[in-house]
Structure 1
Amino acid sequence: MADETNNPDLEVNAASVSDGAYTLIIADFSDTDMAWEAYETLKSVEDGRSVEIEGVIVVRRTTEGRLEIQKATDHSTKSGLKWGVVGGIALGVIFPPSILGSAAVAGGAGAIVGKLRQRHHNHELEQKLENAITPGHSGLLALVSDPGEIKIRKALERAETIVESTLEQVEADDIKAAAKEVQGAHA
């Protein structure tokens, strides 16, 4: 559906596949700089009260279709979790291993992500998200508790496409717990 008020070229595809406790948002940007601008905007509006963002990561999809995490200056949420670690674990749990670059999972969390992936494997979700970022484009992956928050929408207004998928509380909790485990191991 086109968002006529903010950007007539913005196409938003959204569907619900769970209880909606958290939403995974993937925004596709034709330009890496725009993805970084959105990241910085999200970083500036996250306050832990009205805007709660659990994890964000910027990725680039190669022309061959592989996803590569871009180097990020990490940001701690109010709960102390690191955006990049949470985003990297979410990336590893949600996307099929066949399209993830070798360094795709942040913080050496490969074994943890493998276990979570087996537990939460959702073929429908995987198919929906696998092509959310066009080859040759960059993207931003964010795990948020309120996707309708206007500040989040404003940060993503330059995205060409936004794909959203709700995650169950248990999935989000597992991702956050894995991020804490990785943080603890690297502290």
Structure 2
Amino acid sequence: MSDAPVFIYIAAYDSEAAAREDYDVLLELHASGVVGTYDAAIVTKDGDGKVHVHKHEKPTQHGAWTGIGVGALVGILFPPSIIGTAIVGGAAGGVVGHLWHGMSRGDVKELGEALDAGEAALVVVGRDQLEETLDRELRRADKRLQKQIDADAKEFEKELDKAAAAG
């Protein structure tokens, strides 16, 4: 395993409104310095079962951490036929490759099931282990899951930078 792993945190919600409220809490945690560099988005499913990734304001000034990581993760977890929104730059091979090769099949299954558990989910991809802080602060979630994947955060960030430049 690498010295600087990548962490994935998923919180599932019964409503998109609850996910958005906890997203606002995440932004406040970042602004106050409690949470460092990360990429986050709200993922929803519509009535037809299509998956949508909703990016909001940029949570950090670290260039590429702007939705590409979450987009790549959703692209791995769900077949393209059910993704209702474009995965902005997330299809860039290096980003997907880093995530894909860093996860076991069990991780992919478990993360996909967590996203399927509610109407909406808050997905966070970052360099820091956030489980304890996010479990304590994101109080509206019905189900939570964090995975440390075997991908080097520095190399992952380089791939994010490449994808952002290409996008």
- TM-score, normalising length: structure 2: 0.77
For residue 135 of structure 1, report the CA deviation from its aligned partner.
Answer: 6.1
18-27 vs 152-161, which deviates more?
18-27
What letter corresponds to residue 181 of structure 1 in structure 2?
K
| Larger Rg computed on CA atoms | 1
Shift of 1:100: 4.7
1:133 is aligned to 115
Matched AA of 1:165: K
Say if 1:164 and 1:136 are closer, same or farther in 2 by CA, change over 3 A.
closer
TM-superposed deviation, 1:153: 2.9
SS in 1 for 2:111: helix
| Residues 1:35 and 1:53: Cα distance change in structure 2 (over 3 Å) | farther
Q: Could you tell me which residue of structure 2 aligns to residue 181 of structure 1?
A: 162
Residues 1:111 and 1:20: Cα distance change in structure 2 (over 3 Å):
closer
Establish whether residue 80 from structure 1 lines up as the match of residue 49 from structure 2.
no
Long gaps (5+) in structure 2:
none
Return closer, same or farther for 1:175/1:97 CA change in 2, 3 Å cut-off: farther
Matches within 5 A, 1:1-150: 21-47=5-31, 50-62=34-46, 65-70=49-54, 72-93=55-76, 95-97=77-79, 100-107=82-89, 109-112=90-93, 115-116=97-98, 119-120=101-102, 122-134=104-116, 137-144=119-126, 145-150=128-133
Cα gap change, 1:125 to 1:18, in 2 (>3 Å): farther
RMSD: 3.1
Query: What's the CA shift for 1:123?
Result: 1.0
Unaligned runs of 5+ in 1: 1-16
Q: Is the CA contact 2:14–2:120 (under 8 Å) kept in the aligned structure 1?
A: yes
User: Structure 1 residues 169, 35: CA separation in 2 closer, same or farther (over 3 Å shift)?
Assistant: same
Aligned identity (percent) is: 19
1:62–1:136 contact (8 Å) kept in structure 2: no
The count of aligned residue pairs is 165
| Distance in 2 of aligned mates of 1:104 and 1:140 | 18
Which position in structure 2 is the counterpart of 1:168? Answer: 150
- Alignment check: 8 A CA contact 1:31 1:138 kept: yes
